[in-house]
Each structure stands twice: as C-alpha cells, then as structure tokens.
Chains A and B, each alone.
Chain A
Amino acid sequence: QVQLVESGGGVVQPGRSLRLSCAASGFTFSNYAIHWVRQAPGKGLEWVAIIPHDGNNIHYADSVKGRFTISRDNSKNTLYLQMNSLRAEDTAVYHCAKCLSGGGWSSFDLWGQGTMVTVSS
C-alpha cells in the first residue's frame, strides 16, 4: 500500500524540542523528494521544508530556518523533522508529502494523514 505515516507529535512546552518521523511504504522512497507542510488549527497550508531524494540541497521556510532540521534515512524509508526552540506559533498538524520528482520543486502527489504538534506551557 502506497502511504506515508507520520508520528512523534504531542504537547511540548515553548523552547523545547520534538522529532517527527514519516514512514514511507509502497514506493521507492529513495527516488523522491519529500516535503513537510503544516496546518495551524483552522488555518491554511504552510510549506515548511524540502529534502531531495539524495539529501542534498535542502531548503526551509524562513519561519523555521535555524530551528528545524529535515533529514532522511533511505535505508529505513523514513523522513524526519527535528524541531528545536519551539514556539506557540509552531502549533499545527504536520504532514509529510511526496514530490512527483526526485529533486527541485514539483507537485505533492501523496500526503500523510499528519501528526499534531501543540506548543503550550
């Protein structure tokens, strides 16, 4: 079954860290770029980060640059998002999304169901 399954969300205090995971199955994970996209409660979609198929040429949204780190382990078919120095405005459902291509920018043809991150004291 072709799918992406996120995990690792939860409630965390401001300033603390959290690591999200995204497990892929049903396709050749190492061939495709993967993104993180988030959605604050009741709000629209916000792109967070991209990691191409080979892990090179990573990009981040300005809102998370310097605090979040995207990585992947192609041997485990898994994507990660290390989130440090969390802020209240990082509260959102975090989705991983597969690209149509291996690198660069392209459309998201497969989305995970998302994992909720709540930053609150």
Chain B
Amino acid sequence: DIVMTQSPLSLPVTPGEPASISCRSSQSLLHSSGYHFLDWYLQKPGQSPQLLIYFGSTRASGVPDRFSGSGSGTGFTLNISRVEAEDVGVYYCMQALHTPSFGQGTKVEIK
C-alpha cells in the first residue's frame, strides 16, 4: 500500500499571505500515461471534501487560480498564493495510482 505523509498537520495563516502544504508518497505516483495520480482536496468545516487539484497540478472546475499544485515522483506541494478567509478547513492529498490512500490532513486556520 502507498503511504501518504503530509506536513505540516496544522497551519495558521494570515489572510493575503501565501501558504504551502507538502505531501510525500512512499512510492512514485507517476502513471504510464505521464501524469502523476496525486489529488488535493479541501474539506471545509461541516462540508464534504471537494476536489481542488488532480494529476498533481490540474485545477478542478471552478477552483480559483490562487490554488496551484506542483511536484513529481514522490514529492508534491499545494500552494495558495494569497489565503482568503474562505480557504480554512482541512486539506488532504490523495494518491489515485492504486487503491486510494489519503494523507493525514492539514488543518488550515486563520491566525
């Protein structure tokens, strides 16, 4: 099984400032198609998770362009260029290369 490890697990942020979350996998997430099967989800308080980024760097429909994903192989990063108050919640990375597995989650809250 592929183990996903996120850091940090808690991230206090200041509105207007950038934020970054890291995710590492226990094996490469590069598929034979050339895409990395790594997703980022945001679970806002009291809501279901929503897809932000797939294939490591492709924004899902309707996701603001302040969110971006990068990385390759076993190391990936979610960046928020300028945090807004509505971005609070728990962020999860997930690998979709084999049976899906999630990171522990990173709780983002306003300072």
Bound Cα distance A113, B37 (Å) = 24
Task: Find out whether the CB atom of B98 lies under 8 angstroms from the CB atom of A108.
Answer: no
Which residues on the A side are within 8 Å of B103 (C-beta)? 44
Task: Find out whether the CB atom of A47 lies under 8 angstroms from the CB atom of B101.
Answer: yes
Task: Find out whether the CB atom of B48 lies under 8 angstroms from the CB atom of A112.
Answer: yes
Contact residues, B4-52 vs A (CB, 8 A): 37, 39, 41, 43, 47-51
B96 at the A interface (CB under 8 A): yes
Bound Cα distance A37, B99 (Å) = 12
Q: How large is the interface on A (under 10, 10 to 19, 20 to 34, 35 or more residues)?
A: 20 to 34
Which residues on the B side are within 8 Å of A111 (C-beta)? 48-50
Task: Find out whether the CB atom of A47 lies under 8 angstroms from the CB atom of B51.
Answer: no
Bound Cα distance A46, B51 (Å) = 16
Count residues of chain B with CB under 8 A from any CB of chain A: 26
Bound Cα distance A47, B104 (Å) = 13
> In the complex, which residue of chain A has the Cβ closest to the Cβ of B6?
A44
Chain A positions near chain B (C-beta within 8 angstroms): 35, 37, 44-47, 50, 59, 61, 95, 100, 105-109, 111-114
Q: List 24 A-B contacts (CB under 8 A).
A: A35-B100, A45-B41, A45-B49, A45-B92, A45-B105, A46-B102, A47-B102, A95-B48, A100-B54, A105-B37, A105-B96, A105-B97, A105-B99, A105-B100, A107-B54, A107-B60, A108-B39, A108-B41, A108-B94, A109-B61, A111-B48, A111-B49, A112-B48, A113-B48
